[in-house]
Amino acid sequence: MYEKQALGFYLSGHPVEEYSNVLDRYNRMTIDEAFHQKGKIRIASMVEDVRRITTKKGDPMAFLKVGDESGQCEATVFPRVWKESGHFLKPNQLVFLEGKMDDSREKVQFLIDRALPLDKLQARTRKKILFIRTSSESDHLNQVESLLLQSEGSTDVVFYFYDTNERRNMPVDYRVDLSDHILSELKTILGEENVVLK
| Inter-axis angle of helices 182-190 and 141-150, nearest 10 | 180
Look at strands 71-77 and 60-68 and give their pairing: antiparallel
* Residue ranges, CATH 2.40.50.140, the chain: 3-123
CB of 44 closer than 8 Å to CB of 96: yes
According to DSSP, the residues that pair with 112 across neighbouring strands are: 77, 99
Are 198 and 129 in contact by the 8 Å Cβ rule? The answer is yes
- pLDDT, residue 60, reads 97
Residues 6-35 have pLDDT tens digits of 434 444 578 898 888 788 888 899 999 999
Q: pLDDT tens across 65-98, in order?
A: 999 999 999 999 999 999 999 999 999 999 999 9
β-sheet with 166-169: strand ranges across:
166-169, 156-161, 129-134, 195-197
Q: Cα(19)–Cα(180) distance, rounded to whole angstroms?
A: 31
Q: How far apart are CA 74 and CA 76, in angstroms?
A: 7
pLDDT digits (tens, 9 = 90+) for 109-156: 999 999 999 988 865 655 678 999 999 999 999 999 999 998 878 788
Q: Which CATH class is domain 3-123?
A: mainly beta
Cα separation of 11 and 138, whole Å?
Answer: 47
CA atoms within 13 Å, Cβ hemisphere of 100:
6
- Choose the weakest-confidence range: 10-14, 33-37, 39-43, 182-186: 10-14
Kindly report the backbone phi and psi dihedral angles of residue 57, in degrees, each rounded to the nearest multiple of 5, phi listed first.
-85, -5
